[in-house]
Amino acid sequence: MSQTAENDLAPMKAFLTAVPHRKLTALAQLPPFLHRELEDGPLADVGASYQVGCVVRGEPLPLSRFLYALAADERCLLHIESGGFAHTYRLRLYEKKGTGARLLCATYVPEPMADGAAILAFLEGLAD
Give the pLDDT confidence of 10-60 residue by residue, as tens digits: 999 999 998 789 999 999 999 999 988 887 778 999 999 888 877 777 788
Residue 15: how many other CB atoms lie within 10 Å: 24
pLDDT band (50, 70, 90) for residue 127: low
What's the number of domains the chain is made of? 1
Query: What is the structure's pLDDT at 69?
Result: 97
pLDDT at 128: 56
1 located within any domain: no
Domain that holds residue 46: 6-125
Q: Is residue 44 part of a domain?
A: yes
Q: What is the pLDDT of residues 6-20, one digit of tens each?
A: 458 999 999 999 878
Name the pTM for this structure. 0.88
Note whether residue 33 is domain-resident. yes
Residue 88 lies in a domain: yes
